[in-house]
């Protein structure tokens, strides 16, 4: 992460009017709804029927992944509104074979973190909630030795991720 990214992360620890807690399997319904709303915001859901299929398919997977530790998540709640969720973010822990660093000087161990389900409720946007949540995601990645953290950014999220030090990669996809 570049110097600018580190400076930005330092500011994320300042009080923000929100508390962040770890997601539990009981939060799978909220996280599944966030996933649907995230794709809705990106214009990726053709109908409400598809949205419902996505929600009902994602919820049990999220519950299981939270229970077995292959997914860790965080929920931001306003300090003055107990139980209300302003936003959430998650990190899927994926196995990855050891690989050389970009410059080839060291071998990095697996696993990798894949950031997903970063979503802020519309009423709470532009108040630093996504920045706060990403601070928890990246702190977890550092604390657990995840040398690689990837994500797919929406057009709206891309500026935030760039400020945090994320950069485009050479990834390709077969459709």
**Helices then strands (H, E): number in the chain?**
5, 7
- Residues of the domain holding 158: 3-10+17-163
Give the per-residue pLDDT at 82: 81
Residue 33 lies in a domain: yes
Residue of 119, 117, 120, 114 whose CA lies nearest to 151: 114
Torsion from C-alpha of 114, 90, 147, 97, nearest 10 degrees: -40
Does residue 148 belong to any structural domain of this protein?
A: yes
Q: Decide if 175 is inside a domain.
A: no
Instruction: Give the residues across from 67 on adjacent strands.
Output: none
Does pTM top 0.85 for this prediction?
Answer: yes
CA–CA separation, 6 vs 34, rounded Å? 28
Question: If DSSP codes are grouped into helix, strand and coil, which group holds residue 94?
Answer: strand
pLDDT value for 12: 45
d(CA 130, CA 137): 10
- Residue 63, pLDDT score: 98
79-110 tens-digit pLDDT: 998 889 999 999 999 999 999 988 999 999 98
In this structure, is residue 171 part of a structural domain? no
Does a structural domain hold residue 169? Answer: no
Give every residue of the chain whose pLDDT is below 70, as ranges. 1-15
Q: Which CATH number does the domain housing residue 131 bear?
A: 3.40.630.30
Q: How many domains does the chain have?
A: 1
Distance (Å) of CA 144 to CA 101, 113, 161: 18, 10, 20
């Amino acid at each position: 992460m570049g110097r600018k990214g580190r400076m930005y992360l330092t500011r994320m620890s300042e009080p923000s009017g929100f508390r962040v807690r770890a997601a539990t399997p009981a939060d799978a319904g909220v996280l599944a709804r966030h996933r649907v709303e995230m794709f809705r915001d990106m214009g990726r859901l053709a109908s409400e029927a598809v949205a419902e299929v996505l929600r009902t398919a994602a919820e049990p997977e999220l519950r299981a992944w939270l229970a077995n530790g292959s997914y860790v998540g965080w929920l931001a709640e306003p300090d003055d509104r107990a139980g209300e969720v302003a936003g959430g973010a998650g990190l899927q822990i994926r196995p990855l074979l050891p690989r050389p660093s970009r410059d080839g000087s060291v071998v990095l161990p697996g696993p990798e973190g894949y950031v997903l389900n970063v979503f802020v409720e519309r009423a709470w946007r532009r108040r630093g909630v996504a920045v706060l949540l990403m601070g928890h995601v990246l702190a977890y990645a550092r604390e657990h030795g995840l040398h690689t953290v990837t994500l797919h950014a929406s057009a709206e999220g891309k500026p935030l991720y760039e400020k945090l030090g994320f950069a485009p990669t050479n990834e390709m996809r077969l459709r």
